[in-house]
Every structure is written in structure tokens, then in C-alpha cells.
Homo-oligomer: A and B are copies of this chain.
Amino acid sequence: ISSLCSTTLVAQDLPSWSNTDARQQLTAFVETVTKEGAGFVEQSKRIAVFDNDGTLWAEQPMYFQLAFALDRLKATQDKHPEWKTQEPFKSVLAGDLKTALSSHENIAKIVFASHSGMSQEEFQQVVKDWITTATHPKTGRKYTDMVYQPMLEVLDYLRANGFKTFIVSGGGIDFLRVWAEQVYGIPPEQVVGTRVKKEFMLNADGGAQIMRQAAIDFVNDKEGKPIGIDNHIGRRPLIAFGNSDGDLAMLQYTMAGEGKRLAVYIHHTDKGREWAYDRESHIGTFDKGLDYATEHKKDGWILVDMAKDWKVVFPEVE
């Protein structure tokens, strides 16, 4: 039945990709694993994982989830008069982001104040309200229009070729799950991310919900990514996409599996259409990963040069 119903797209289904090495290597790999022969991989093992920030959508001038956190503090400040005198909230409300975001401790306080102390359903509603209205400070686009058109095409192309697509993000699993299905076609159960601790709460009236705690349960970044993949997916991916040193362990884990696999790094080289950054940036630092990918090109590692390999960056918006 599955062979009757599946539609196999061909390479021209990546219209936003220039006909360069990157695209050719990607489509050659997909052809190898989907065609009968020595490289064939059965459909259930066609697992593709994608980092999110800087891989599927932009991440400058700050992680979009942090913009959400800051907006959320402003929106709820009336309920927290104490924030007027407490750091880092005082600086957030005064618009002094340099002070507000000056330490990991400050950022953690901002994240917990905006992401915990409510039920999962309440949090989901808050994210939904924000993501459907907030706009990017530089482009004026909705954040969900700051996704990369060529990557949307890769998601579709892989799914049309029998791959199951997963997000494996250092960002918050529950933040992503609210909109990933609509924007990327990736359902909640295929999103892996960083988690806060949660507690099951049973009410006297039979109500029951999951409450979000102000503590980290799991950090899905760096060496955490292979663990998150193992925990949620239970199979080694066949293809992995990332953009920073935070993805290196995930890509190495992928490539160390049996048979031919593919590791794809998106290199932010496009100052004109997007942002150009790598080794020196503290958002999306791409230093060790850049060296490793360059060194291992012959082993199936692909470096996507955004400026050269992508005809367009963002989707057309009506």
C-alpha cells in the first residue's frame, strides 16, 4: 500500500537551491538510499533530524525564543510590581538588554519567569498568542516567516522520499511544539528539545494537568543532542542538519552509524539577505564544527554556503 500511495519527488522539488555541489550531494544521497540496490535503506530507518535556530529559521539578532521571553515579561509586568526593583527584570522593563542579558544567571531568571509556573495548556496558549502576532525587529516579518525557504523544501523533499523528519533543538521543546506542525509539517511527537521539569497535578474535581516548574530537566544541546535523539527516536539518524558547534556531537553521532549517512552544516555566509557569522559569533558559534566539516568533506559532510547555494533565503510573504 505504501508504495502505491507515496509520491516520490525528484530533485527539481528543491527549486530554491542552486545547482551546486551541496544540492547534488543531497539528492544523490537520497537517490542512493531510496533506490533498490546496495545503498537501499528501508523506510522505517530513514530518520532525518534538524536543528532549529539558524538551521530551519533565523536566530539573529537574538534567539527568537528569548524575544518571546522578554515580550512575555513586559506583558505580565502588572502582576509583578516587584520586578520594578529586581534584576534582571528591572533592566528588561527599562529596555537595557545589555545588563539584562549579561549573565547566564540573568538569562535563566528571565526564562523561568516567562516559561514556568503555569500548566502546559496555559503555556501553549501564551506561545500561540505571541507567535501569531509578534514581528522581527529588523525585517518586520512574523517570526514564522523568518524560516528558510530552501529548508522547507528539504523537509518536503525528504518526507516525499519516505523520511520521517524530526526537530532536535537546543530551544524549548514546548515552545517549538506549538507551531512546528503548521510551519514545518512536524508534529509535536517529532520535536526534541530542552525541557523544564514538570509535575502531574490532579485536582479534587477530576481535572488533571502537567505543571511547568522553574528548573531545567534536560538540556538538548551539544552532547545532549545524541542523548535526546536516543531518548525520543531510538534510532540513529540517516541525515542530520545543523549550523553550529552545538550540533557537532549530533552530526558525529549520525555519521558514526553503519552505512552511508549525511551530515549537513548550514554556514551563514549571506550578509546581504540574512546575517553573516560563524567563529566569533556567540549566537550560533560555528568554529570547531566548521573545521570538522571542512576536514571531513570527503566522508559525506556537506557545508552549505547560504550565499552561493540558496537562490532565496526567506519565503515570499503575501
* Chain A residues engaging chain B, CB cutoff 8 angstroms: 1, 4-5, 7, 44, 120, 164, 166, 173-174, 177, 181, 187-191, 195, 198-200, 202, 206-210, 223-224, 226-227, 230-235, 249, 252-253, 255-256
Contact = CB atoms under 8 A, between A and B. Distances in A.
Contacts of A223: 199-200
A240 to B, nearest CB: 12
A191 B234 contact: yes
B1 A233 contact: no
Given A189-B190, A200-B223, A230 B252 contact: no
A206 B256 contact: yes
Contact of A249 (B174, B191, B200, B233): B200
A32 to B, nearest CB: 21
Given A181-B44, A252-B208, A189 B233 contact: yes
A7 B1 CA distance: 10
30 contacts: A5-B5, A44-B181, A44-B187, A120-B230, A164-B189, A173-B231, A173-B234, A177-B234, A188-B233, A188-B234, A188-B235, A189-B234, A189-B235, A195-B231, A198-B231, A199-B227, A200-B223, A200-B224, A200-B249, A200-B253, A202-B249, A206-B252, A206-B255, A206-B256, A208-B226, A208-B252, A209-B256, A210-B226, A210-B230, A210-B253
A190 B232 CA distance: 8
A249 B209 CA distance: 10
Nearest to A7: B1
A234 B174 contact: yes
A211 to B, nearest CB: 10
A258 B232 CA distance: 26
Contacts of A256: 206-209
Nearest to A190: B189
Given A181-B44, A189-B190, A189-B234, A208 B164 contact: no
A60 to B, nearest CB: 28
Contacts of A191: 234
Contacts of A174: 234
Contacts of A232: 189, 232
A5 B4 CA distance: 8
A2 to B, nearest CB: 8
A224 B1 CA distance: 37
Contacts of A195: 231
A253 B199 CA distance: 12
A12 to B, nearest CB: 20
A94 B183 CA distance: 59
